[in-house]
Amino acid sequence: MLKLTQRLAFLSLVVAFSVLIVPAARTQEPATQDLAQVLRTLSQQIQDIKKEHAAAIQAMQREIDALKAQLQQQTAQTAPPAADTSVPAAPIAPITPATPAVSRDEDEQQLYAAIKSSAAAMLPATPVPGVDLDASVIIDGFYHYDNHKLGVSHLKNSLAGFSHAHDHDDAGHDHEHSVIEDGFNLRHLELGLSAAVDPYFTAWTTLAFDDHASEVEEAVIQSSSLPWGLTLSAGKIKSGIGRMNRQHSHNWDFFDQPLVYDAFFGDHGLTDKGLQLTWLAPTPFYVLLGAEAFQGNHETVANYLGSDPFPRHNGPRLWTSFLKVGPQLDDQHALQFGLSYVQGRHQEEEDHDGHTHYFNGYNRIYGADVVYKYDAKRPHGQGDVVLQGEFFHRERNLELLNNGQDYNNSQNGYYLQALYGFKPRWRVGARWEQLGVTNDVHDVHDGKLSYGASNRTSAMLDWKLSEFSLVRMQATQGNFATAHGREEFWEFIMQLQISIGKHAAHDF
């Protein structure tokens, strides 16, 4: 009986009654689930109505105030609408928690004022430095031993099919990484500076110093305000091709860079003066397209001699384009594929028993790379896995000057590597590489030759004591095809590398 009346009452609900009825219903403990459901919906509706009502009354109050003002001005004796006379003239508060709402707003303000003053008292007296020039120095020392009588760095420079590139006059290029002695060595000291220039540009530079020389590894001015996902960079740039090309030596996962980089791009990778335009496509997954125009002063990709009998070419003489695609995977996985194309004008001279051959033509390099990262979400890289591989194929088409004959070389190389974080801060890694799987070289005197491949296997163990220091051990076994036949060797490296100052964060 009571339930029935309640239902009826609810159905003909009026806002004023609702407040009374809901608690009443609760005390009676309605038996059916239905009723509870109805009560919930209704109390929800009541809440909504309350809100609307409060808003409506506030609106009416504003109207009333406006009307009153009008009335006072006009001194006309028209009666206000009957419904509104019941509302008190004093400023009205919303129906729900009446006066506290006002004081609670004050409470809010007092709370924030109190916090602000206490926070101000806690801040250090010295102001935050205004200009942020991030400067960092990387010191990278290592102990090296190999069991080859000539030394591994010598072997690297006499790989069959690749050694010609080093025959030309090397003057003006003193800064050689590849000369490593058995015993203690210091890799070039790396000084990095970076800062925002103004609202339009950021800039960074990396300077490399060693005992004999210094070199600008990178000096980049990059736009920071171009629209449509475009970024333009100018200066001396580490090309965006491949996966590792952009990485500085302190960021490599192994002590040394892969053989294919040594052979195709030299000790510093593909770095040159020029322009780079990249575009981040508005796709639902990561797509980056880039194109670069470089001056073309690069000993292995775009060597320029330019004096008689070579034809003269103004820069840019080296062009690249690259594409990177990163599909959207779940939180623990990341994958990126890359494709690269490099084309450079290339000139070489080769001395042969009193006479010189002059070659002029093009290098074309096609590259593909892939990297997969597994993030175990454990501290300091524990359980993380990185798999990475790159492949490059080079077509070198040169014309023998004063002869007109074409010489075509077709060569390639790749590496595959895996890293695993077996403890916090500790990683093991393995790398397998081959250079010259295809190694077809057209020689002036010996005609078409097909050299074998050089193979190398490396095992690596590194320990990041902190974010800023690293100890690494590496053992490498190599079997190289050299001009004097196959050579085998073992190589051991113990490396200590530290970073001081503020170094910009590394990207993917």
Partner 1 sequence: MKYPAFLIVAAFLCTALASALARAEAQSIRIVATTTDLADITRAICGDLAVVSSITTGQEDPHALSAKPGFVVSARDADLWVRIGMELEIGWEGPILRDSRNRRIQVGAPGHLDASTNVIRLDVPTQAITRAMGDVHPMGNPHYWLDPLNGRIVAKTIADKLCELYPQHQNAFQQNLRDFQNDLDNHMFGQPLVTRFGGAKLWRFLNDGTIKQLLATADLGAGDGWYGLLEPYAGSHIVTYHRSWIYLLERFNLPVLAEMEPLPGVPPSGRHLAKLAQDMRDKQVRVILQEPFYNRKAADLLAKRSNATVIVHANACAGSAEATSYLAMLDSVIRGLHNALSNDTPQP
Footprint of partner 1 on this chain (CB under 8 A)?
100, 103-104, 107-108, 110-112, 114-116, 118-119, 122-124, 202, 224-231, 279-286, 289, 291, 293, 319-321, 324, 326, 328-329, 331, 334, 336, 341, 343, 373, 375, 377-381, 384, 424-425, 466-468, 504-508
- 412 contacts 394 by C-beta, under 8 angstroms: yes
Q: How many angstroms separate the CA atoms of 222 and 120, rounded?
A: 37
Nearer to partner 1, 92 or 281 (CB): 281
Instruction: Between 419 and 435, name the residue whose CB sits nearer to partner 1.
Output: 419
Residue 41 identity (one-letter amino acid): T
- Compare residues 199 and 447 and give the one whose CB is closer to partner 1: 199
Cα 63 to the center of its chain, rounded Å? 58
Is residue 162 within 8 Å of 411, Cβ to Cβ?
A: yes
Closest distance of CB 202 from partner 1, Å? 7
Helices (H) and strands (E) counted in the chain, each on its own, are 7, 18
* Least distance from partner 1 to the Cβ atom of residue 275, Å: 12
Instruction: Tell me the three-class secondary structure of 2-15, residue by residue.
Output: HHHHHHHHHHCCCH
Smallest separation (angstroms) from partner 1 to the CB of 485: 38
Q: Distance between CA atoms of 145 and 475, rounded to whole angstroms?
A: 10
Nearer of residues 252 and 341 to partner 1, judged by Cβ: 341
Rounded least distance, CB 428 to partner 1, Å? 18
The number of beta carbons lying within 10 Å of the beta carbon of residue 112 is: 10
- Closest approach, Cβ 364 to partner 1, in A, equals 9
Output 168 or 248, the one with its CB closest to partner 1: 248
By C-beta, is 51 or 448 nearer to partner 1?
51
Q: Which is nearer to partner 1, 202 or 271 (CB)?
A: 202
Cβ-in-10-Å burial (0-12, 13-18, 19+) of 35 comes to: middle
Q: What share of the chain is helix, strand, coil (3-state, %, to 5)?
A: 20, 45, 35
Chain center to CA of 429:
22
How many other CB atoms sit within 10 Å of the CB of residue 17? 14
Estimate the crossing angle of helix 2-11 against helix 33-74, to 10 degrees.
40
Is the distance from CB of 14 to CB of 46 less than 8 angstroms? no
Q: Do residues 249 and 267 make contact, with C-beta atoms less than 8 angstroms apart? A: no
Nearer to partner 1 by Cβ, of 156 and 238: the residue is: 238
Task: Give 57 or 437: the residue with its C-beta nearer to partner 1.
Answer: 57
CB of 292 to partner 1, least distance (A): 9
Name residue, tokens 């890694």: 429
Q: How far is the CB of 240 from partner 1 (least distance, A)?
A: 12
The answer to whether the CB of 41 falls within 8 A of the CB of 13 is no
Q: CB of 272: closest distance to partner 1 in angstroms?
A: 16
Find the shortest distance in angstroms from Cβ 87 to partner 1.
23
